[in-house]
C-alpha cells in the first residue's frame, strides 16, 4: 500500500500563484491521472504528516503547440489543491 500512495503525488506544482496560496494553507500538487480525492488525502497524510481539510482536483487538458514549424502537443496532467488546517504547514524543498 505504501508504494501505491507514493506514486499518487508526483511533484509539487511550484508557480508564483501556488507559492502565494501556500502562505494561506493551500498547497498544489501534480498527481496521478487516476487518483481520487481519498487517495490524495491518504498520500498527503502519509508523506507530509498533515491532515487535509479539503481537496479540489483539476484536470488540465493537453494543448496543441507550434514550435519551429512543427506541430505537437503538450502533455495534459491532473493537479490537486490541498487545503490544510490553520497552523499546519507542508515543507516543500
Domain boundary assignment for the chain: 2-84
> Where is pLDDT greater, at 91 or 10?
10
Query: Contact 29/60 with Cβ under 8 angstroms?
Result: no
The answer on pLDDT for 3 being more than 60 is: no
For residue range 37-68, what is the model confidence (pLDDT) as tens digits?
999 999 999 999 999 999 999 999 999 999 99
* CATH value of 2-84 in 2.40.160.40, 3.40.50.9100, 3.30.70.330, 3.40.50.10070: 3.30.70.330
Query: Contact 61/12 with Cβ under 8 angstroms?
Result: no
Q: How many helices (H) and strands (E) does the chain have?
A: 3, 6
For residue range 11-23, what is the model confidence (pLDDT) as tens digits?
999 999 999 999 9
Considering the chain, what percentage of its residues have pLDDT values greater than 70? 94
The grid coordinates listed for 31 are: 498527481
Contacts of 19 (CB under 8 A, 6+ apart): none
Amino acid at each position: 500500500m505504501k508504494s501505491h500512495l507514493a506514486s499518487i503525488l508526483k511533484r509539487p506544482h511550484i508557480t508564483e500563484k501556488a507559492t502565494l496560496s501556500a502562505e494561506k494553507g493551500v498547497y498544489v500538487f501534480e498527481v496521478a491521472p487516476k487518483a481520487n480525492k481519498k487517495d490524495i488525502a491518504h498520500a498527503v497524510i502519509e508523506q507530509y504528516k498533515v491532515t487535509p481539510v479539503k481537496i479540489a482536483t483539476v484536470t488540465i487538458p493537453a494543448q496543441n503547440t507550434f514550435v519551429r514549424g512543427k506541430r505537437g502537443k503538450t502533455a495534459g496532467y491532473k493537479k490537486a489543491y490541498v487545503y490544510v488546517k490553520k497552523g499546519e504547514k507542508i515543507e516543500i524543498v
